[in-house]
Amino acid sequence: MGMIAVDYDGLIPNNVGLGQDVRVKRALEKWHPGYIGWWMDMGPEGFQNALVYLRTAIGVDPKGWAKFDYVRMPEYRWGVLLAPQRDERKIPFGSHKGEDAWQEVPGEYRAMLRRLIVIQGDTEPASVEQQRHLGKTAPSLYDMRNLFQVNVEEGRHLWAMVYLLQKYFGADGREEAEALLERRSGDPDTPRMLGAFNEKTPDWLSFFMFTYFTDRDGKMQLEALAQSGFDPLSRTCRFMLTEEAHHMFVGETGVTRVVQRTCEAMKEAGITDPYEVDKIRKLGVIDLPTIQKKANLHFSLTLDLFGNEISTNAANAFHAGLKGRFREDRLKDDHQLESGSYPVLRLIDGQIKNDDAPALSALNMRLRDDYVADCQLGVDRWNKVIADLGIPFEIKLPHVAFHRHIGEFSRTNADVEGKILAPAEWTHRRTDFLPSEADKDFIESLMKPQFEPGKFASWIAPPKVGIDNKPGDFEYVKIAEA
């Protein structure tokens, strides 16, 4: 039990004993060319021959699981890595609480489990597709490298989910694995499964907001699935979370550096009023009100990923022991939730009010609440940068009712404070809250590539430290001539 050594020699690096599992090995080897085809078609455009200083997972020991080296992305070693099995792990919640964790798919929950894996799997390639044009406008080689790091790891996360499908779900797992390569972000006929993954990521501020807000939804979902009674899913997600931490680092520090550069430029120019937008933009930086609008957009789109506040699916998945709560193992209650309630924010008679719902039905709401609290921590750090530079401005998360397309508040138009607006007023004030065409054009005008080692575009500050402790002028990407 426990750790299987990583086999790094074959086509597919793995610690799941693929060498002894001929059926699954063949299935994955058959899937591999389609994956590479997808990567070449939909992966980072224009940089497939570049040498990128990437982190590759080579083990699952928390102390030394990765190595850094120059790699051409199509030659990245995408592998199947599960966190070590824990001896005698028990199902931690739901109606099977206390029973041995499942090592095989429990027949009665097969369809539900497959659906959870497919939905998670679908998000992984989607974000690569959304971000594929960004390399060309990277504000530095450091940032370009981080983009590609996130991209190859999302590719690995797809491998992680496809392994589970191929290993545990037979013919329908195989079909789902194929379909994951066929859907395309934003495609009108074969879109990705979830709304936020069909939106565009048109510029680098969007990329940082996406990795801050939307990858953080990924973290919450993975945390909930890491609790699963289906042990292979739990182990897969636990290892994915190790990689995911870097994605959120990219988002949080990315926005921090944008905010910092803006405030520094304002200070240098003697501007203290953050609403002197025209003057600030002339400095070649992004004004804070526009950064706020971008945050409003990405936060609200991401909240939709948590689904309906009251959800039978979520209740069923918990009851079955398949998907737990955020850090279920640290919570102190009966972990079954057959009784008890949870306050759910609802639209009642045109007013936003708390309403107690059965705890089991309110699990999406609860995960969303945990998410909002997690988001706030980084926002506080952004605000500290602004305050330290003496600019009177605070970035705020908008009200959860703002700009929603799924759940309670999809039926109404709330402003960022949660005040319900009449439809005409919403239309009129929309660009007070969300980026206008002019805002987008301005941001777009700043998206000029800066590919000289150690140099950064005008609108973003350099990072505090390099990746893998490399010096400031390190050439993170060696761009190929051809």
Residues that bind Fe ion (CB under 5 A): 124, 154, 157, 215, 218, 244, 247
Cβ proximity to Fe ion: between 128 and 295 the closer is: 128
Residue 366 CA: distances (Å) to CA of 90, 233, 279, 307, 343: 23, 22, 43, 11, 9
Cβ proximity to Fe ion: between 370 and 475 the closer is: 370
Scanning 230-287, the segments in alpha helix (DSSP H) are: 231-269, 277-282
* CA angle, residues 464, 468, 471, in degrees to nearest 5: 55
| Sequence letter at residue 436 | S
Cβ proximity to Fe ion: between 3 and 245 the closer is: 245
Residue where the block lists tokens 């779900």: 169
Taking Cα atoms as reference points, which of 128, 297, 100 lies closest to residue 197? 128
Cβ proximity to Fe ion: between 236 and 364 the closer is: 236
Shortest distance, CB of residue 349 to Fe ion, whole angstroms? 40
Shortest distance, CB of residue 176 to Fe ion, whole angstroms? 17
H helix count then E strand count, the chain: 13, 5
| Sequence letter at residue 412 | T
Shortest distance, CB of residue 335 to Fe ion, whole angstroms? 27
Shortest distance, CB of residue 212 to Fe ion, whole angstroms? 11
Shortest distance, CB of residue 216 to Fe ion, whole angstroms? 9
The rounded distance, in Å, linking the Cα atoms of 89 and 85 is 8
Shortest distance, CB of residue 39 to Fe ion, whole angstroms? 15
Shortest distance, CB of residue 248 to Fe ion, whole angstroms? 8
Cβ proximity to Fe ion: between 94 and 251 the closer is: 251
Shortest distance, CB of residue 247 to Fe ion, whole angstroms? 4
| Sequence letter at residue 35 | Y
| Sequence letter at residue 323 | K
Helix (H, G, I), strand (E, B) or coil at 343: strand
Shortest distance, CB of residue 410 to Fe ion, whole angstroms? 26
Q: Are 46 and 136 in contact (CB under 8 A)?
A: yes
Residues 390-396: contacts with CB under 8 Å, at least 24 apart: 390/263, 390/267, 390/272, 391/263, 391/266, 391/267, 391/272, 391/274, 391/288, 392/272, 392/274, 393/274, 393/288, 395/259, 395/288, 395/291, 395/292, 395/295, 396/292
The rounded distance, in Å, linking the Cα atoms of 476 and 46 is 16
Cβ proximity to Fe ion: between 122 and 215 the closer is: 215
Cβ proximity to Fe ion: between 213 and 230 the closer is: 213
Query: Which residues neighbour 125 within 8 Å (Cβ) at sequence distance 6 or greater?
Result: 38, 42, 154, 155, 158, 180, 181
Residue 300 CA: distances (Å) to CA of 393, 436, 439: 21, 16, 18
The rounded distance, in Å, linking the Cα atoms of 411 and 118 is 28
Cβ proximity to Fe ion: between 212 and 393 the closer is: 212
Residue 470 CA: distances (Å) to CA of 199, 452, 465, 466, 474: 34, 16, 8, 5, 6
Cβ proximity to Fe ion: between 127 and 413 the closer is: 127
> What residues pair up with 354 in beta bridges, in sequence order?
345
Shortest distance, CB of residue 45 to Fe ion, whole angstroms? 19
Cβ proximity to Fe ion: between 217 and 304 the closer is: 217
